Homo-oligomer: A and B are copies of this chain.
């Protein structure tokens, strides 16, 4: 069972499905963290989700001068959260590493101790060129290649960048076995990136690596503002629909599902391996519940049925 995700990503024949979680805030008590975690795992247990993704939250205020709609609050380190609280989670976890936050020694120690059967990782580079980093992305990639090549490495994919396929090729060649996108509201932008990457792989004789498309519902105009602050491209028609909807959450849910169907059909026709990651960028209960429902519908879309 723990190897399902690895197999899905390696064979790239079927769509992997992840659920993304931001670790609890640093200020949360140990007891409360245990409660939150137990509740999350209980919600996810019946779903055919192949693994968790645990985010490494960085203060990205350097990236966007506008005020962050939700305040930045430090959260538990995802590796520590995984080690200390997620022993009951029997499926793999994809642990994000904002590599610039860590010294080379810290990363090396973590890599040496990580269990490749339970853990995968995604290395995230700096959020802006000006940001001071302790370890550069390329250094971290090389470190993992020499210290822990069996730890499955992924990279982030920003569909909004017109030249993103070239970055994916570079990451691919640096050892990335899969990619996880940022939150997608524009299916067109995602299709552009995947199409460019697919044909660039063919030209170079590379086998395309799976791209997991991240979907996140949006239950309020504040969440919409946050998505836009994060750099998510929301097409004007969709923003209009969300602003005028009687039920913003239901409207965004329907659109996430429509985008998932469009992306699945597009990738299947192209022969491009793909999967999905569902997360909630907000901590509101209604939005998290909707995310869990969306993951259930996506497992059906991926041909898994509703439960494991």
Contacts and interface: CB of A to CB of B under 8 A. Distances in A.
Interface string A218-252: 00000000000000000111001100100000000
A199 interface: yes
A188 B191 contact: no
Interface in A73-131: none
Give chain A's interface residue range (CB within 8 Å of chain B).
Answer: 10 to 19
A181 interface: no
Given A199-B244, A244-B199, A237 B186 contact: no
A260 B264 CA distance: 20
A194 interface: yes
Nearest to A165: B236
A235 B194 CA distance: 12
Given A199-B244, A244-B199, A188 B266 contact: no
A54 to B, nearest CB: 31
A192 B266 contact: no
A196 interface: yes
Interface string A190-227: 01101110010000000000000000000000000000
B241 A195 contact: yes
Contacts of A192: 235-237
Contacts of A237: 188, 191-192, 194-196, 266
Contact of A196 (B186, B194, B236, B266): B236
Contacts of A194: 237
A240 B266 CA distance: 12
A191 B266 contact: no
A188 B188 CA distance: 8
Nearest to A199: B240
Contacts of A196: 236-237, 240
A272 to B, nearest CB: 11
Nearest to A269: B241
B240 A188 contact: no
A265 B64 CA distance: 36
Interface of A: 186, 188, 191-192, 194-196, 199, 235-237, 240-241, 244, 266
19 contacts: A186-B188, A188-B188, A188-B235, A188-B237, A191-B237, A192-B235, A192-B236, A192-B237, A194-B237, A195-B236, A195-B237, A195-B240, A195-B241, A196-B236, A196-B237, A196-B240, A199-B240, A199-B244, A237-B266
Given A188-B237, A199-B240, 12 more contacts: A188-B235, A191-B235, A191-B237, A192-B237, A194-B237, A195-B240, A195-B241, A196-B236, A196-B237, A196-B240, A199-B244, A237-B266
